């Protein structure tokens, strides 16, 4: 059924082979490096495509039904759900998927045709949009008639060059022009074929081409007038906005007013809609040809823009400068020039005299870039109270990829003591001069801010009739800051932005400002007709464009999540913002699970080579209420008086088969996420809390590591076995501690209690020896300000907050988990030296410790960071007997000076880079928590292959797969940590907004703001151990410019000298100083 290519078909250079009924298109393209490549494509034309293919099927049809070819007009009429067919172009797919997907639009226009040209072009620009378009085509055919039309192979939809020559359009100069013509041909084909057809005797089927390209719409009318004698003869060409307005006019019933407004809000904004600024705000981006030439000549550099945590006004781009990779700082709106976090940009470096001397210059640089005194103040005002910040330093790309952020510069004038030029480290700065690829995420959580909403908040606002909820709507700014250290804008700045950009339009819509929860995203201007309904609500907004004449990006409303401050709504927000998978497990995944009545028993053939260890007194030690018990321990005395210690880990891989849908889903999730009142599991609950959980008094499959050790802690031998165990007890940490503290000659009521007590005591004794050995080797003992909540049994709202209590039993379990991880890491590395999944902790950048060293020195202590051993000794020595929490503060701050540990494939790093700094371990991995970490599942498979009980899955033999897997695990692990901390902060806000009210507690000073910044009041950064709260406290009674205020930057002290006081500082007298 093949057809020859029409001789008038448009080609750049065609070579037609009539006998084989195909054609070749030849064209030339220039690469980024300037090379000219010849590209030849083959194109087959068919006459059996007809009206395309329907990919979806009815919900009631058989599961095996596939795509349906629409072979004639009658077939098409039978599947149409209305008398309007929409044909969409590429930009509609890229920018208006929220509208097309919405149920209201689907109800009004259920028939949609997606041409091959539009779909493939969409795929080249945005894979997420392409995936959504495919999903739209696959929707239930009873609700949506989605048609894929392969126009580029359809014999009747080819471009006739002679015809376009007649229209004086023969110079289809760009691919976009050609693609537009192809899509118009699709609309014309459907229009002409259906011109004489009606549904039920009513009006003929209307074909509408949706495009926001005004030139394309003009050409559509001109082409039809030339061909058919009048415009819109075969089809009508509409902009998306006009299309939605038409739907509203046809559905102007008062009961549907909200629906019409909602659809209009979903229309993307691709140009400015008015505001305070009438002229260009930013410099235009350079042309792509100029950018390509500049990058080739080394004048410009390309990289991905990343925003610093908590702000959209401080960014960096990693570039390659010679053989080195350097992080270039980009600060201020003008230099960032409309780029958003994740965009691939091209930058130009500033002159060296504008580079930064030290990190503290950053705020001054930002102030000079924006040339605003207000910026100085706002940079300080952003820092508000909240849960203690990240346990470790924020992992930036420069940390993860070992990228330098300074360049050594020799001074021209300054000389050192020997007469040589002084070498100083400077942080390079630059500006964005072009954007190669936008990375606008699909949507952002946040809320609109208007002057009306501000006044409503002050007045208390309108309350819903249903008061049975936990709401903190008046604390919106605190809630918005719970995922970040800083606030994007103070209330005064928000008022100013809202005043400038709240604009009423002739069509009744209103432009207003949306502030995202993610502080890396600038304010977004949206246009809405339902402002009153959106005030005080958490909504999702998508960015559409950022024109040169707009100070902020333009976007559109997507949907509403709920009221600001409601616990469930804010929990949904934090899950969305940290990209935590929270959808229910699919039917394919659940089909991989064993039946509910699955019985765990040792098979007669023992196919898994399991060792029966049910005779051993195995027990677990976990927090109270723990249901996903990964690990258990045992310790017995051997006949030779040595001890056998066993670590038994849930054998998850027995149930999770490699490359099954369950395994693929677990790999995607990578980790369980623990919120205060909710747990999002990596695996379905049947495994997490039942079959894999090593509960007491039941048989369970395990992966066991058995050591023979002397009572003095020397390891004699180690074995690895797939096993079956029977736990005799599931102890809490407190219960285990009671057994540890029990006198040696104490008697228990039952023999089983004696067995448990003896095992726990022996484990504790060996753990003390091993811990001391680790510390001597340089392992660090660090700290974090953890808190736990007492929750109401019904509402799950917090009734109390307290610091997390640790027992020696915690350290006992930790010690043997570390031992198992190190032992297994060495084992798999011997067998798979380039394929092992390990965990590394790089040595910290010494510059990160400069501030901490200075603070400790101001209190009389020296912190030595030459290696982990010296750091550990320094922290141990920094003790104030009268203030035991001082040492914990130092350990908390030391933790924040370090980068987080990372998963990696052993074949990607040199052996010296495998080292785990915090544990002083040359090799380390994760083996002990496969229920909640996918890295452990991979390590289980590697270990099983190493001991010969199972083959190594094929995908674990691919370094590229392991690289991507490790990157996803690192990303998911970090996101889960951040989501957990955000949940803690949310519940802390709920606690203080409830009956607890204001309380008076002790706080410790972490930092003193000694920077002499104009207009900024002196402040302290404090931590409240009781609640784990950390924040900035301004000294409001002291004027910022008071001459009696003395700031001692090097000493981390501020001093207020009253009347008659001497301004001179006595370094040895701390009684009158805040330090």
| Digit-coded pLDDT (tens) for 252-277 | 654 555 677 788 888 888 876 544 44
Q: CA quadruple 230, 236, 239, 242: dihedral positive or negative?
A: positive
Residue 276: what pLDDT?
A: 45
308 contacts 516 by C-beta, under 8 angstroms: no
Q: Which residues pair with 916 in a beta bridge?
A: 841, 921
Residue 1065: what pLDDT?
A: 44
Instruction: Pull the structure tokens for residue 446.
Output: 């946040």
CA–CA distances in Å: residue 751 to residues 617, 636, 686 = 12, 15, 33
pLDDT at 1062 over 60: no
pLDDT at 160 over 50: yes
Per-residue model confidence as pLDDT tens digits over 884-931: 888 988 998 888 888 889 999 999 999 999 999 999 999 999 999 999
Mean pLDDT, residues 100-112 taken together: 91
CA atoms within 13 A on the CB side of 326: 20
1030 contacts 386 by C-beta, under 8 angstroms: yes
Rounded-to-integer distance, Cα 774 and Cα 776, Å = 5
Residue 849: what pLDDT?
A: 86
Q: Which residues pair with 1006 in a beta bridge?
A: none
Mean pLDDT, residues 666-685 taken together: 94
Exposed/middle/buried for residue 1038 (C-beta within 10 Å: 0-12, 13-18, 19+) = middle
Residue 202: what pLDDT?
A: 54
Per-residue model confidence as pLDDT tens digits over 444-479: 999 988 776 555 544 444 444 444 444 455 555 555
Rounded-to-integer distance, Cα 257 and Cα 241, Å = 17
Highest average pLDDT, of 553-567, 690-704, 1005-1019, 1027-1041, comes from 690-704
pLDDT at 65 over 60: no
Residue 7: what pLDDT?
A: 35
628 contacts 549 by C-beta, under 8 angstroms: no
Residue 173: what pLDDT?
A: 56
Residue 156: what pLDDT?
A: 87
Give 521's DSSP letter: S
pLDDT at 1014 over 70: no
537 contacts 271 by C-beta, under 8 angstroms: no
Residue 653: what pLDDT?
A: 96
Q: What is the mean pLDDT of the chain?
A: 81
Rounded-to-integer distance, Cα 520 and Cα 322, Å = 30
Instruction: Pull the structure tokens for residue 475.
Output: 């604390």
pLDDT at 64 over 70: no
Residue of 1045 and 878 predicted with greater confidence: 878
Per-residue model confidence as pLDDT tens digits over 348-394: 999 988 888 754 455 555 555 544 444 444 444 444 444 444 555 54
Residue of 354 and 1061 predicted with greater confidence: 354
Per-residue model confidence as pLDDT tens digits over 804-861: 778 999 999 999 999 999 999 999 999 999 999 999 998 887 878 888 888 888 888 9
Task: Of 41-45, 621-625, 727-731, 959-963, give the lowest mean pLDDT range.
Answer: 41-45
pLDDT at 87 over 90: yes
116 contacts 150 by C-beta, under 8 angstroms: yes
pLDDT at 491 over 80: no
- Considering the chain, what percentage of its residues have pLDDT values greater than 90? 40
Highest average pLDDT, of 666-680, 850-864, 1007-1021, 1047-1061, comes from 666-680
Residue 484: what pLDDT?
A: 46
CA–CA distances in Å: residue 304 to residues 317, 343, 443, 521 = 6, 6, 20, 15
Residue 58: what pLDDT?
A: 60
Exposed/middle/buried for residue 1002 (C-beta within 10 Å: 0-12, 13-18, 19+) = exposed
Of 264, 214, 262, the residue nearest 244 (C-alpha): 264
pTM over 0.85: no
How does residue 799 score in pLDDT terms, banded at 50, 70 and 90?
confident
How is 348-393 classified by DSSP, letter by letter? EEPPGGGSBSSTTHHHHHHHHHHT-HHHHHHHHHTB--EE---SS-
Per-residue model confidence as pLDDT tens digits over 536-554: 999 999 999 899 988 999 9
Sequence-distant (≥ 6) Cβ neighbours of residue 150 within 8 angstroms: 49, 52, 53, 116
Per-residue model confidence as pLDDT tens digits over 187-246: 999 999 988 776 555 557 899 999 999 989 999 998 898 888 888 889 999 999 999 988
Rounded-to-integer distance, Cα 534 and Cα 521, Å = 20
Percentages helix, strand, coil for the chain (3-state, rounded to 5) are 35, 25, 40
Residue 843: what pLDDT?
A: 87
User: Rounded to the nearest 5°, which phi and psi values hold at 1029?
Assistant: -90, 140
How does residue 1010 score in pLDDT terms, banded at 50, 70 and 90?
confident
Exposed/middle/buried for residue 75 (C-beta within 10 Å: 0-12, 13-18, 19+) = middle
Per-residue model confidence as pLDDT tens digits over 113-147: 999 999 999 998 888 889 999 999 999 888 899 99
Residue 172: what pLDDT?
A: 54
Residue 18: what pLDDT?
A: 37
Element (H, E) at 70: none
Instruction: Pull the structure tokens for residue 584.
Output: 């229910």
Residue 1035: what pLDDT?
A: 81
């Amino acid at each position: 059924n093949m057809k020859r290519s029409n001789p008038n078909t448009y080609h750049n250079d065609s070579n037609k082979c009539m006998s084989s009924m195909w054609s070749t298109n030849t064209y030339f393209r220039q690469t980024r490096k300037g090379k000219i490549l010849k590209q030849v494509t083959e194109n087959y034309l068919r006459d059996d495509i007809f009206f395309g293919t329907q990919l979806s099927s009815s919900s009631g049809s058989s599961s095996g039904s596939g795509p349906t070819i629409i072979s004639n007009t009658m077939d098409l009429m039978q599947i149409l759900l209305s008398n309007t067919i929409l044909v969409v172009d590429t930009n509609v797919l890229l920018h208006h998927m929220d509208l097309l997907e919405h149920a209201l639009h689907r109800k009004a226009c259920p028939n949609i045709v997606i041409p091959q040209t539009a779909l493939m072009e969409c795929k080249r620009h945005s894979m997420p949009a392409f995936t959504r378009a495919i999903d739209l085509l696959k929707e239930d055919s009873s609700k949506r008639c989605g048609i894929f039309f392969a126009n580029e192979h359809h014999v009747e939809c080819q471009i006739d060059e002679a015809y376009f020559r007649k229209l004086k359009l023969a110079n289809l100069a760009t691919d976009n022009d050609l693609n537009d013509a192809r899509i118009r041909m699709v609309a014309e084909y459907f229009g002409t074929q259906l011109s004489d057809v009606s549904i039920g005797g009513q009006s003929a089927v209307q074909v509408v081409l949706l495009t926001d390209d005004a030139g394309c719409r003009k050409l559509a009318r001109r082409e039809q007038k030339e061909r058919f004698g009048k415009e819109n003869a075969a089809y009508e060409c509409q902009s998306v906005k006009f299309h939605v307005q038409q739907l509203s006019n046809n559905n102007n019933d008062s009961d549907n007013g909200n629906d019409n407004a909602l659809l209009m809000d979903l229309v993307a904004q691709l140009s400015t809609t008015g505001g305070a600024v009438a002229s260009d705000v930013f410099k235009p981006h350079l042309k792509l040809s100029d950018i390509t030439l500049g990058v080739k000549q080394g004048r410009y550099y390309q990289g991905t823009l990343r925003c610093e945590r908590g702000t959209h006004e401080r960014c960096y781009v990693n570039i390659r400068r010679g053989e080195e990779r350097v992080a270039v700082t980009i600060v201020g709106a003008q230099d960032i020039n409309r780029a958003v976090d994740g965009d691939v940009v091209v930058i130009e470096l500033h002159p060296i005299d504008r580079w930064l001397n030290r990190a503290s210059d950053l705020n001054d640089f930002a102030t000079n870039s924006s040339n605003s005194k207000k910026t100085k103040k706002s940079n300080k005002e952003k820092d508000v109270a909240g849960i203690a910040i990240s346990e470790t330093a924020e992992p930036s790309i420069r940390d993860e990829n070992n990228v330098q952020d300074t360049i050594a510069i020799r001074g021209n004038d300054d000389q050192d003591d020997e007469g040589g030029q002084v070498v100083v480290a400077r942080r390079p700065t630059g500006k964005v001069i072009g954007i190669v690829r936008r990375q606008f995420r699909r949507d952002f959580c946040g809320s609109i801010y208007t002057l009306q909403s501000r006044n409503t908040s002050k007045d208390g606002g309108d309350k819903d009739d249903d008061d049975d909820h936990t709401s903190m709507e008046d604390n919106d700014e605190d809630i918005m800051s719970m995922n970040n250290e800083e606030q994007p804008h103070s209330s005064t700045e928000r008022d100013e932005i809202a005043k400038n950009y709240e604009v009423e339009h002739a069509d009744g819509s209103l432009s207003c400002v949306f502030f995202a929860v993610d502080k890396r995203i600038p304010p977004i201007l949206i246009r809405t007709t339902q402002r009153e309904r959106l005030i005080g609500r958490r909504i999702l907004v998508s960015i559409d464009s950022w024109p040169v004449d707009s100070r902020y990006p333009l976007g559109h409303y997507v949907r509403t999540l709920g009221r600001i401050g409601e616990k469930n709504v804010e929990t949904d927000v934090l899950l969305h913002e940290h990209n935590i998978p929270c959808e229910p497990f699919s039917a394919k995944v659940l089909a991989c699970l064993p039946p509910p009545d699955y019985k765990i028993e040792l098979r007669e053939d023992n196919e898994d080579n399991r060792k029966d260890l049910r005779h051993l007194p195995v027990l677990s030690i976990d927090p109270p209420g723990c249901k996903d018990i990964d690990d258990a321990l045992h310790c017995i005395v051997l006949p030779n008086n040595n001890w056998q210690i066993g670590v038994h880990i849930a054998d998850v891989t027995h149930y999770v088969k490699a490359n099954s849908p369950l395994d693929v889903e677990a790999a995607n999730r990578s980790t369980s996420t623990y919120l205060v009142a909710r747990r999002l599991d990596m695996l379905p609950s049947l495994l997490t809390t039942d079959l894999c959980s090593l509960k007491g008094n039941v048989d369970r499959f395990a992966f066991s590591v058995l050591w023979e050790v002397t009572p003095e802690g020397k390891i004699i031998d180690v074995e690895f076995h797939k096993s079956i165990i029977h736990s005799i007890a599931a102890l809490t940490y407190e219960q285990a501690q009671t057994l540890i503290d029990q006198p040696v000659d104490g008697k228990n009521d039952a023999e089983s209690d004696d067995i448990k007590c003896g095992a726990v005591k022996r484990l504790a004794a060996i753990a003390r020896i091993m811990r001391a050995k680790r510390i001597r080797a340089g392992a660090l003992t660090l700290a974090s300000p953890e808190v736990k909540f007492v929750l109401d049994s019904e509402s799950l709202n917090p009734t109390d907050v307290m610091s997390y209590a640790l027992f020696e039993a915690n350290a006992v379990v930790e010690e043997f988990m570390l031992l198992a991880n190190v032992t297994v890491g060495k084992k798999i590395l011997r067998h798979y030296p380039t394929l092992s999944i390990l965990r590394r902790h790089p040595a910290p950048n010494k510059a990160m410790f400069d501030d901490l060293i200075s603070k400790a020195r101001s209190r009389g202590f020296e912190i030595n960071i030459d290696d982990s051993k010296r750091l550990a000794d320094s922290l141990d020595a920094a003790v104030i007997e009268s203030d035991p929490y001082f040492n914990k503060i130092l350990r908390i701050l030391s933790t924040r000076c370090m980068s987080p540990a990372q998963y990696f494939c052993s074949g990607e790093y040199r052996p010296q880079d495998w080292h785990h700094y915090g544990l002083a371990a040359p090799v380390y991995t994760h083996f002990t928590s496969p229920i909640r970490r996918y890295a452990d599942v991979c390590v289980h498979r590697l270990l099983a292959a190493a001991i010969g009980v199972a083959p190594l899955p094929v995908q674990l033999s691919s370094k590229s797969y392991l690289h991507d897997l490790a990157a996803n695990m690192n990303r998911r692990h970090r996101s889960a940590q951040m989501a957990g901390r955000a949940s803690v902060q949310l519940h802390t806000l709920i606690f203080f907004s409830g009956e607890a009210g204001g309380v008076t507690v002790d706080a410790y000073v972490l930092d003193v703001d000694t920077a002499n910044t104009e207009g900024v009041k002196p402040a302290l950064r404090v931590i409240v151990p009781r609640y784990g709260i950390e924040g900035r406290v301004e000294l409001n009674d002291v004027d910022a410019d008071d001459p009696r205020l003395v700031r001692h930057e090097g000493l981390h002290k501020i001093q207020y000298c009253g009347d008659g006081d001497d301004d001179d500082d006595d370094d040895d007298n701390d009684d009158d100083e805040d330090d």
